[in-house]
Amino acid sequence: MKKAQICELLYKKELAEGIFDFRIKSGEMADVAKCGQFLHIDCGDGTLLRRPISICDVYDDVVRFVFEVKGKGTKALAQKKVGDTLDVLGPLGHGFDINDDYQSPVIVGGGIGIFPLYQLSKLVNNPAVYLGFRSANRVVMEDEFKSVAENTQIATDDGSYGFKGYAAELLKKHLDEKPCDIIYSCGPMPMLRAVKKIAEDYGAKCQLSLEQRMGCGIGACLVCSCETKREGTEKYAKVCKDGPVFWADEVTLND
């Protein structure tokens, strides 16, 4: 059973309106964290449940996470100041399958789903990275991704920056022209459905990180259940414990 840790907030920066880069002194978490795992954070201000936030990067004894303010929890978290402490449970869940056999990985992210893909982009061999945002003023971490993955391309839904359209369209274009031995993806459900379908059509291996609403974060409640192709009592997996990363052909992404 994992114990919560009290971690000092070492660094805080607002990358775009309502999107915050936090770095915490993590003690032993930094030594054991696997790429794609998440933290379950007590945001304070009377929020009963912890909020799950992906690990964006790890260095020295520092864990970095980036989050967008959505509601009560993330709003309270955003009020924290450097020097304050955070009550953090983690690292939790199963991360990405990173394997030296993969020579031409493609990474596809959208919105808040891009954050766990930064560390992944550093760890895999020469990835092509396609990142989707709503519009130019929501684009963050572009230079950082480009510094670790020179084949990084940005898409915006409204065409105000980069490619006009969805990151999944760039994936399809890539698969028409170039090799790919694995696709990794994280982002909103419609994007994950599109990526899963493209992977099936092209016969590509694919891992998806599901950022589903969550309760306990440790597999004790059923809030984050997702349907899988398994039979019987194993049919429903818990995103917090069995995921958040799943093989695409394992899960059913219902509407």
Ligand X SMILES: Cc1cc2nc3c(=O)[nH]c(=O)nc-3n(C[C@H](O)[C@H](O)[C@H](O)COP(=O)(O)OP(=O)(O)OC[C@H]3O[C@@H](n4cnc5c(N)ncnc54)[C@H](O)[C@@H]3O)c2cc1C
Contact footprint for ligand X (CB under 6 A): 38, 51-54, 65-68, 70-74, 112, 115, 211-214, 244
CB of 115 to ligand X, least distance (A): 4
CB of 100 to ligand X, least distance (A): 26
C-beta nearest to ligand X: residue:
71
Burial (CB count within 10 angstroms: exposed 0-12, middle 13-18, buried 19+), residue 168: buried
- Alpha-carbon span 77 to 120, nearest angstrom: 25
| Nearer of residues 53 and 199 to ligand X, judged by Cβ | 53
Beta bridge mates, 236? 227
CB of 127 to ligand X, least distance (A): 19
- Alpha-carbon span 7 to 88, nearest angstrom: 7
| Nearer of residues 22 and 175 to ligand X, judged by Cβ | 22
CB of 240 to ligand X, least distance (A): 7
| Nearer of residues 115 and 145 to ligand X, judged by Cβ | 115
Q: What are residue 186's phi and psi, to 5 degrees?
A: -150, 135
| Nearer of residues 133 and 175 to ligand X, judged by Cβ | 133
Measured from the Cβ of residue 151, the count of other Cβ atoms closer than 10 Å reads 16
| Nearer of residues 98 and 214 to ligand X, judged by Cβ | 214
The DSSP secondary structure of 196-220, one letter per residue, reads HHHHHHHT--EEEE-----SSSSSS
- Amino acid of residue 71: G
List the structure tokens of 102.
């993969």
CB of 13 to ligand X, least distance (A): 14
- In three-state secondary structure terms, 231 is coil
